[in-house]
Amino acid sequence: MIKCTEGLAIKSRENLESVKILVVGTGGREHAIVWALLQSPLVTQVLCVPGNGGTALMERCQNLSFRVDDFAGIARFAEVNGVSLVVIGPELPLSLGIVDYLQNRNIPVFGPTRAGAQIESSKTWAKAIMEEAGIPTPKSATFTDLETARAYIEQQGAPIVVKADGLASGKGVVVAETLQEALTAVELLFAQNYGKLLIEEYLTGQELSVIALTDGKTIRALLPAQDHKRIGDGDTGANTGGMGAYAPAPLGTPALMTRIQNEVLEPTLATLKRRGIDYRGVLYAGLMITPNGEPKVLEFNCRFGDPETQAILPLLVTPLVELLLACVEQRLAALPPIEWKPAVSTCVTIAAQGYPGNYERGKVISGIESANTDGTIVFHAGTQLKQNRVVSDGGRVLGVTSTAPDFASAIDRAYQGVRLITFEGMYYRQDIAQRALSERL
Ligand code: AMP
Ligand code: GLY
């Protein structure tokens, strides 16, 4: 880890044959982004703010000890050290305006501005965009006081979904099975000082994550993915950040992806443009595919999904650096179609005992090197390098991604990797990507 107050004397980029990239974030998603960027020989160095144990161990990658909201420190470092591109991983710095800050200093940055990031940071704002764009999304209403919200819930009945308006680290959505649950949820969320709530029609179906890259004019979807949000096998128990993912999700057939492009991605981008927002970065649609095959948007995110990214990027053939630079420089339309390996992938999250509740950190992890073999990559999420040993440092600790020609082999390979890894209290789901086996390819 470089002590950032000391600065670093790195030569400026002289031409496009050497690109130095700074990646902001600390999770499995960021490790996967760094890994994918470094697949290109064009990328001479990646700096990760603050990174994790995995990024610390990579050749041509160095962790920097800035906080993700230290915009001034990050900007100064980028300027002094000739960074060609800054890539923002998580939603928090995006919603705080890191992109606006860097753009004002002429530092090329991948990610939407604060105005664009509202698509994730405000559920009511996102809903207004969806309605203006005429895109398929569940019916909803916005509330700013408890009594009116209660009356609406009683009139609508359960099941019903209650969503807090601001960023809530995945804890702001309550899918209420009963009236009582819904009423308790609105009370609790208002008491937690969320000034605005969205109450939404409950939908059944299968969820699909479509992560798209845009330069503000053109938008291109990556491979569709599915994640596993619940902690327990068979999608049971508490919601988590994501216990595993797979790609390409068979549910996202070419016909469905065309509909999502035309009915969701394009109209959303056009609406953002109409509102004067120059949106460059990731637009991630969290969709429910209803039993009759309709894609309906449950939410938008303004960044790459985690752990979907760990499943998607190992399948990418087109260099990620080219795609990200094309977004920032508004030349996505001129690029050839995104190229993918003719393979599938499965990513299994290994979590700490107790996650998503309380868990301990600092457990020594072994077996990562043996698991990192041909066809398998161990992405670090909550880890740290301490005295040359990798120790756990978060709830989701690792993500083991395997690629193979078919899902049966990818699943088998990923779990072989998982079984080589040990640390005290490690937990993982046994059924990641099983759904892909039962769906037609
Ligand atoms: P969101 O952050 O809006 O994606 O919500 C988190 C999770 O809650 C989603 O991934 C779904 O599993 C569930 N969810 C959200 N909205 C709905 C809805 N309208 N109907 C059913 N489930 C929902
Ligand atoms: N995997 C869900 C998310 O990144 O929001």
Residue 157 lies in a domain: yes
Residue 156 lies in a domain: yes
**Domain stop point among 200, 215, 243:** 200
Mutational pocket test of ligand 2: of 227, 229, 309, 429, the residue with most ligand atoms within 8 Å of the beta carbon? 227
Q: Do residues 95 and 173 both lie within one domain?
A: no
pLDDT of residue 16: 57
- How far is 26 from 381, CA to CA, in rounded Å? 7
- How far is 51 from 382, CA to CA, in rounded Å? 10
Residue 323 lies in a domain: no
Q: Which residues of 176-203 are buried (b: 16+ CB within 10 A; e: fewer)?
A: beebebbbebbeebbeeebebbbbbebb
Residue 206 lies in a domain: no
* Domain encompassing residue 168: 140-200
Residue 230 lies in a domain: no
How many residues would you count in the chain? 441
pLDDT of residue 298: 97
Q: Do residues 54 and 94 both lie within one domain?
A: yes
Residue 58 lies in a domain: yes
Does the CB atom of residue 227 touch ligand 2 within 6 A? yes
**Domain stop point among 96, 111, 126:** 111
Q: Do residues 28 and 105 both lie within one domain?
A: yes
**Residue-by-residue DSSP string for 59-106:** TTEEEB---TT-HHHHHHHHHHTT--EEEE-SHHHHHTTHHHHHHHTT
Q: Do residues 100 and 154 both lie within one domain?
A: no
pLDDT of residue 438: 84
Q: Residue 29 is part of a domain; what is its CATH number?
A: 3.40.50.20
Residue whose Cα lies nearest atom 3 of ligand 2: it is 305
- How far is 426 from 353, CA to CA, in rounded Å? 6
- How far is 352 from 359, CA to CA, in rounded Å? 6
Residue whose Cα lies nearest atom 4 of ligand 2: it is 305
Does the CB atom of residue 91 touch ligand 2 within 6 A? no
Q: Do residues 104 and 158 both lie within one domain?
A: no
Per-residue pLDDT of 240-249, as tens digits, reads 999 999 999 9
Q: Return the structure tokens found at 114.
A: 């604060």
Q: Could you tell me which of 256, 211, 207 has the C-alpha nearest to residue 227?
A: 207
Residue 32 lies in a domain: yes
Q: Residue 189 is part of a domain; what is its CATH number?
A: 3.30.1490.20
Residue 299 lies in a domain: no
Q: Do residues 52 and 107 both lie within one domain?
A: yes
Which residues 6+ apart lie within 8 Å of 241 measured at CB?
170, 306, 307, 356, 395, 396
Residues of the chain where predicted confidence (pLDDT) is lower than 70? 1-17, 440-441
Q: Do residues 107 and 38 both lie within one domain?
A: yes
Q: Could you tell me which of 136, 120, 159 has the C-alpha nearest to residue 289?
A: 136
Single pTM value for the model? 0.95
Give the chain's end-to-end CA distance (angstroms, integer). Answer: 44
Q: Structural domain tally of the chain?
A: 2
